[in-house]
A = this chain, B = another copy of it.
Amino acid sequence: MRVLILGGDGYLGWATAMYFSNKGHEVAVVDNFTRRLMHLERGTDSLTPIKLLRERVEAWKEATGKTITPFIGDIRDWDFTSRVVRDFKPEAIVHYGEIPSAPYSMIDVHHAVHVHENNVNGTLNVLFAMHQFAPESHLIKLGTMGEYGTPNIDIEEGYIEIEYKGRKDTLPFPKQPGSFYHLTKVHDSNNIMFACRIWGLRATDLNQGVVYGIETDEVNLDDRLLTRFDYDESFGTALNRFVVQAVAGIPLTLFGKGQQTRGYLNIRDTLQCVELAMLHPADPGRMRVFNQFTETFSVLQLAQAVKEAAEKLGISVEIAHYENPRVEAEVHYYNPTLSHLPDLGLQPRYLQEQLVESMIQRVVQFKERIITHAIVPRIRWKEGDREDQVKITELEK
């Protein structure tokens, strides 16, 4: 299958590109290096020393004999996006090409607007390009479980049948996202739903949980093929950051008591889920929604799992409770449905002590590269003011 991966230089994008290429698909990646630029801005970096995209593609060719075609450009640029879709004629478009950071979107007005422009406008270009140049292709769009927030009812997969005053309808599930970043994903979902309805496009919206893990079969072939691994306050996710904190001897940062519960999955399961979506494409005309996670944990549970695994390896770990920089319910009901992906055959890899230990060992390999200044969260939801940010950035230096 011809697969176009948007954001193919990123954490999941590069791992997905190699995974599909290895399985014999014809893979092209699109990237404009937004993530690398943002790390320069924040003074942070991937824990893993990642190669330039050009070098990655060459190393992949050397290691496997297979070709991954890079298209360098910005999906907000219609001329670029429309040409790529017209010329490559993808059968599937896996769309990771968005800025995925809640804290980054909350820095100030400029960051909030930038995340909107990048995510929402970029996706509009992709939809129009599909409509005009690849109307049969299947959009596999990475959304987030964070679109739903934490309602006091079960979270269904994208839609809910509502019975109200004696009448019934199946309607989009009401969403209460928790940051401007999460809001852009909701805006995307609404725009994609509409584009499917009016143009008969095929799309699957993957409402993904928090991804953890550093290794895939392809990453493990050669250190030049490593995918990025972020642990900073903007781009690091809970388990990944905890492991780095444990190795760096920094207390694990919990917000409040750490009872916020979310869905999680292994990076290998992300690849499996995206593949299942691709091999079973959505019908034209109605956006399909899959919740994509394998387990739910409270942040405290994850911290404890890291502490236990680290201590087995002789690393002592502290857990610190910080004032929550976000505005969110600490104690809440959380019961998301997970049935579409298991129905398609998802075989979850649950979080086990060995996995955490192996993550810790991989992180130890790159211990010298850990940058500590931006692990503890400083971006506060209630502020939203550039002045403070500039000051903080100066202080860090």
Contacts and interface: CB of A to CB of B under 8 A. Distances in A.
Interface stretch (A58-66, A104-112, A310-318): A104-112
Given A112-B124, A113-B121, A162 B160 contact: yes
Given A128-B108, A176-B171, A199-B384, A190 B194 contact: no
Contacts of A183: 187, 190-191, 194
Interface stretch (A18-26, A29-37, A150-158, A208-216): A150-158
B169 A164 contact: no
Contact of A384 (B132, B167, B168, B187): B132
Interface in A77-122: 78, 108-110, 112-113, 116-117, 120-121
Given A153-B162, A160-B164, A190-B177, A327 B121 contact: no
B190 A169 contact: no
A385 interface: yes
A197 B382 CA distance: 10
A154 B167 CA distance: 8
Interface in A342-378: none
Interface in A145-188: 151-154, 160, 162-165, 167-169, 171-180, 183, 186-187
Among A109, A116, A176, residue most surrounded by chain B Cβ atoms (within 10 Å): A109
Nearest to A115: B124
Contact of A198 (B190, B199, B327, B385): B327
A381 interface: yes
A340 interface: no
Given A109-B125, A125-B113, A168-B152, A191 B198 contact: no
A131 interface: yes
Contacts of A120: 116, 120, 187
A297 interface: no
A322 interface: no
A164 to B, nearest CB: 4
A186 B120 CA distance: 13
Among A174, A175, A180, residue most surrounded by chain B Cβ atoms (within 10 Å): A174
Contact of A153 (B108, B117, B151, B164): B164
A165 to B, nearest CB: 6
Given A78-B110, A113-B121, 17 more contacts: A78-B109, A78-B113, A109-B125, A116-B120, A117-B117, A124-B180, A128-B384, A132-B384, A152-B167, A152-B168, A153-B171, A171-B176, A183-B187, A183-B190, A187-B187, A198-B327, A198-B382
22 contacts: A108-B128, A113-B121, A116-B121, A116-B124, A120-B120, A132-B384, A132-B385, A152-B167, A153-B167, A153-B168, A153-B169, A153-B171, A154-B167, A160-B162, A171-B176, A176-B193, A178-B194, A180-B194, A183-B190, A187-B187, A187-B190, A198-B327
